[in-house]
Structure 1
Amino acid sequence: MSPVPAPRPNGRHGMTRRFEVGGAQGYLITSMAADGTLTEVMVRLGKHGSTLAGLADALHHTVNLGLRHGAPVVEVIQALLDAAYDPRGMTNDPEVPTASSITDYVARRLALDFVPYGERVRLSVLTPAEQTALTSHHAAAADDDEATALRPRGRVPATV
């Protein structure tokens, strides 16, 4: 990581996503460089001055500090994944149907938006459709392995 933070660009592309986790509503706002690299995250939750709003501010300030100092996005996400606290549970995001906390939801959403599929497989962050496809692929591969294991080895006598 760089000891000197990277300057923020004057212009950025961004996306705002409204989300719900366990009944709590919030907004995840992301900014990207021209090449699509994540440059900034903002999380808005609860009323200004509330505990939830304060924790959301602390979360995004910490993430942004890491990003500005050159921390790899994958490492930032990995540090946030699977944090468990309330609110937790069902979300309104079909690609992330459940989350163990707001932090977990933010990490999973960022991974889906900014991390390549192969790396997300390693992190176990997949959409339900990707998880189904991967499970089907592994089941088919296991069936192939079993068929290979059951196949006779060596020379097989010819049948008449």
Structure 2
Amino acid sequence: MSKNPRTRETQRRTAEKLREAEARIAELTVEVEFLQGSVERYKNRRPQRSRLPETRQAITHKFSISGHEGYITVGLFEDGSPGEVFIRMAKMGSTVRGLVDTIAVLTSLALQYDVPLENLARKFRHTRFEPSGYTTNPDIKRVTSIVDYIFAWLSETFPRCSESDASRTDTTQ
């Protein structure tokens, strides 16, 4: 080491800065490793389906749209949120019945994979096709289709189910 006090002070400060830099590099290395692990976990993540209990509560609702009667039955998870939907239309042809059944199955699967009901309703409300018109429900006076009625009723009946509930997720498929 040099005997010059200025040089010694410069060397001391340089050594101190080097130690600080090495400590910061060590901290950043730990952070990078953590983030790399998070990225790997995220890349390998698969959607998880929540299963309803074998015996479950359900709500059945009768409705009428311009004289066309139907029933919506909603099977509930143990927390009271909707997990499956069945729709039955009286006096409808096989095509409409098949399409309504398809909407019910797709809605059920989406709910079981924790898609928020609010997102489904936002997408399917106000779809237009027959039958449409006035309903017998005083809270839903007029609709543009069966699908519009279904999602209006689900949104009204289950207003607090707009957020997904990850605590329900069951990994057994």
State TM-score, norm by structure 2.
Answer: 0.62
Q: What corresponds to 1:131 in structure 2?
A: none
Runs of 5+ in structure 1 lacking a partner? 120-160
1:66 equivalent to 2:139? Answer no
Q: What corresponds to 2:151 in structure 1?
A: 107
Which of 76, 91, 94 aligns to 2:120? It is 76
Whole-Å separation in 2 of the counterparts to 1:84 and 1:68:
26
* Cα shift at 1:103: 0.3
Q: What corresponds to 1:35 in structure 2?
A: 79
Which of 15, 19, 24 aligns to 2:68? It is 24
Bigger strand fraction:
1
Task: Answer 1 or 2: higher relative contact order, Cα 8 Å, separation at least 6.
Answer: 2
* Cα shift at 1:49: 6.3
Runs of 5+ in structure 2 lacking a partner? 1-44, 163-173
In angstroms, what is the RMSD of aligned CA positions?
Answer: 2.0
Partner secondary structure for residue 66 of structure 1: helix
Whole-Å separation in 1 of the counterparts to 2:137 and 2:94:
24
State TM-score, norm by structure 1.
Answer: 0.67
Q: Percent identity?
A: 28
Q: How many residues align?
A: 117
Large movers: runs of 4+ above 4 Å = none
Larger radius of gyration: 2
Deviation string, structure 1 residues 12-61 (Cα, Å, up to 9, x no partner): 11111111112211101111122211111111114586112111101101
Q: Closer, same or farther in 2 for the Cα pair 1:11/1:25, shift >3 Å?
A: same
